[in-house]
Amino acid sequence: MAKKKKPKQPKQPKKKKLSKLAKAKLDSNSKLWRNKADKLWSELVRRGGKCEVCGREEFLDAHHLLDRFRYKHFRHILANGICLCKSCHKHGTMSFHKSSIWAGYWLETNKPEQYKWVVEHFAITEHSFDYKLAYEQLLNFAQQNNFLPKDEKKSTS
C-alpha cells in the first residue's frame, strides 16, 4: 500500500525577535520602568527647589522616608519623599541618614501629616507593585500639576 503524502502546509512567517528595549517595555516590572519611575519621582519630590530642612537651593536630593528596597510598594509614593540638600540628606551630623532619631523628631515637628503617613505605613512590608503603573501615575500627577519632567519636555518639543 502506498503512503499518503501529507499536503504541505504554508510556512508560517518567522516571528521577529523582540529587542531588549521592546521586551522591557512589555514587562511592567522591568528595570526600564523602575528607572523611569525613580527619575520622575525624584524630580517631583525636588520640584520645590529647596531643602525642606535648611532651605538651601543647590545640591538637592530626593530622600525616601521609608526605605525604597524594603518598602518597594511605597518607593514611588510622593508622601514617602522629602527634598533635602546633600548635608541634610547624608553628610551633616544631623542628617536623615546619620541621625534617624533626629530625622523622625524633625519630621514629626515640621511635617506632621507626612510623619503620620510614615507611622501608618511603617508596618506594611508586603504588597505587589508595578513600576510601569507607578510611572504612569506619577506622570499623570505631574501633568495635572503643570510640571513637565525633563524627559517629557524633550518628547513634546
Over range 76-94, report the average pLDDT.
94
Tally of structural domains, the chain: 1
* Residue 152, domain member (yes or no): no
Over range 26-54, report the average pLDDT.
94
Over range 124-147, report the average pLDDT.
84
- Alpha-carbon distance values, 122 to 1, 53, 111, 127, 157 (Å): 78, 22, 16, 13, 41
pTM, full prediction: 0.75
pLDDT at residue 149, rounded to an integer: 67
What end-to-end distance do the CA atoms of the chain give, in Å? 74
* Grid coordinates of 121: 505605613
Would the pLDDT of 138 be above 80?
Answer: yes
* Residue 101, domain member (yes or no): yes
Q: What is the mean pLDDT of the chain?
A: 87
- Residues of the domain holding 42: 34-138
* Residue 43, domain member (yes or no): yes
